[in-house]
Amino acid sequence: GESVGLHLPTLSVQEGDNSIINCAYSNSASDYFIWYKQESGKGPQFIIDIRSNMDKRQGQRVTVLLNKTVKHLSLQIAATQPGDSAVYFCAENNGKGSGGSNYKLTFGKGTLLTVNP
């Protein structure tokens, strides 16, 4: 099912610390996952993605881990900076449907990350 909540989980960290944001996804058939960053009043911004045939992928200062056994996804941000403060969403694609619907995404509820200077 979809994971939409009425309140946003929050994570507060000190500048320079590492941040870990977690996401439990719902569909065991999902084969593609993405993390997005959304700043207030803006559209989501792509951070990093991972396919289901991988369990780890690294980018610049970010790492995504995928545990298909427990349907869990995490985003690790190294040396968190004030500019990282935003809401972070995971999204999953299960590849079902025809045409463009094959690529539709289901978004998680999001986590508000606050970085304290």
Partner 1 sequence: GAVVSQHPSWVICKSGTSVKIECRSLDFQATTMFWYRQFPKQSLMLMATSNEGSKATYEQGVEKDKFLINHASLTLSTLTVTSAHPEDSSFYICSARSLNTYEQYFGPGTRLTVT
CB of 24 to partner 1, least distance (A): 13
Q: Which amino acid is at 39?
A: E
Given the rule CB under 8 A, which residues bind partner 1? 2-8, 32, 34, 36, 41-46, 49, 89, 93, 97, 99-101, 103-110
52 vs 78, which CB is nearer to partner 1? 52
Say if residue 65 is exposed, middle or buried (CB neighbours under 10 Å; 0-12, 13-18, 19+): middle
46 vs 79, which CB is nearer to partner 1? 46
38 vs 63, which CB is nearer to partner 1? 38
CB of 73 to partner 1, least distance (A): 15
Q: What distance, in Å, lies between the first and last C-alpha atoms of the chain?
A: 37
2 vs 69, which CB is nearer to partner 1? 2
